[in-house]
Amino acid sequence: MHIEVIANIGEARSDEFLHKTVIVIDVLRATSTIITALMNGSRGVVPVDTVIKAKELAKEDDLLGGERYCKKIPGFDFGNSPLEYTREAVHGKRIILTTTNGTRGIQKAIKADRVLAGAIINGRASALAAIELKRDTVIVCAGTQDVFSLEDGICAGLILDEIADLLGEPHMITNDFGLAMRGCYLEAKSHLFETILACSNGKKMKKSGFLADVELCSKMNLTDCVPVLEHDQMVPYGR
Ligand SMILES: O=C(O)[C@H](CS(=O)(=O)O)OP(=O)(O)O
Ligand SMILES: [Mg+2]
């Protein structure tokens, strides 16, 4: 199985995603938030790139979520903290979500055969889903404003490591950046929270009052829920 890892959304070329599975990773925090919302029974998360589109799409019964500069958008129901997306708040609801990087990354991947949302909290399940889909796979690390973010790279390394574990080492073939990210993950796996907290986004989250988000988003394999894009919304894969 071939898995190419791309360092940030700016480096992603959407035409190269045709016929492939794309896993978009935004550990802090968009994909961790989408996974949490679906895990807690949201009936779908619609990822959009702009605030205007989010407001236009939202029907009366929908919830609006997202951030700009890490803060909840005025008039929205939620920000981008996975901790806000509780079962009580989201069960049975459709959510329209717009964030600076992650939802933009998902939009950029729409030409893919399948688009999955990966994070540390669903790393092994994302690996399993990608294997089941039997396509060449691209892992897009969302990054921040088109610059690489280490927490996304570490998560890519986790998914590669799980794929190697599930398929056998010789069957996991990745690019040089993927090899480097797997190395980073193996070095950091025993102290993921501390490593992610030391990253620039980890420090930014702590400064903005979201230390608990970093803690949650650093927990490995918390859930089997893997969001997959169907039409315009993300729903749990395989259900
Ligand atoms: O809310 C977040 O965690 C970030 C904000 S920022 O772009 O890193 O300032 O957005 P995300 O799209 O989840 O990376
Ligand atoms: Mg991010």
Q: What is the DSSP string of 130-167?
A: HHHHTS-EEEEE--BTTB--HHHHHHHHHHHHHHHHHH
Ligand closest in space to the Cα of 102: 1
**Residue-averaged pLDDT of the chain:** 97
Q: For residue 133, what pLDDT band results from cuts at 50, 70 and 90?
A: very high
CB atoms within 5 A of ion ligand 2 belong to 26, 28, 101
204 CB-contact burial (10 Å; exposed 0-12 / middle 13-18 / buried 19+) = middle
Does residue 152's CB lie within 6 angstroms of at least one atom of ligand 1?
no
Per-residue pLDDT, averaged over 140-145, amounts to 98
Pocket of ligand 1 contains residue 100 by CB under 6 Å? yes
CA 64 to chain centre: 18
Measured in Å, residue 124 CA sits from the centre of ligand 1 at 23
Q: How far is the CA of 167 from the centre of ligand 1 (A)?
A: 33
Q: How does pLDDT run across 55-111, given as a tens digit for each residue?
A: 999 999 999 999 999 999 999 999 999 999 999 999 999 999 999 999 999 999 999
Q: Which amino acid is residue 226, in one-letter code?
A: V
pLDDT above 80 for 239: no
Average pLDDT over residues 151-158: 98
Q: Which of 27, 35, 48, 70 to mutate to test the pocket of ligand 1 (most atoms within 8 A of CB)?
A: 70
Distances (CA, A) of 92 to 39, 96, 116, 231: 11, 13, 21, 18
Residue 89: enclosing H or E segment and its boundaries?
Answer: helix 87-90
**pLDDT bucket at 175, cuts 50 / 70 / 90:** very high
Atom of ligand 1 nearest to the CA of 103: 12
Position 131 confidence tier, pLDDT thresholds 50, 70, 90: very high
Q: Which atom of ligand 1 is nearest to the CA of 213?
A: 3
Residue 67 beta carbon below 6 angstroms from any ligand 1 atom: yes
- Assess contact for 34 and 227: CB atoms under 8 A: yes
Closest ligand (CA of 201)? 1
Please give the pLDDT value at position 117.
98
Give the model confidence (pLDDT) of 201-215 as tens digits.
999 999 999 999 999
Please name which ligand lies nearest the alpha carbon of 98: 1
CB 123 less than 6 A from any atom of ligand 1: no
What integer pLDDT is reported at residue 61 of this predicted model?
97
| Predicted model pTM | 0.98
Percentage with pLDDT > 90 across the chain: 100
Give the chain's domains with CATH numbers.
Answer: 2-224 (3.90.1560.10)
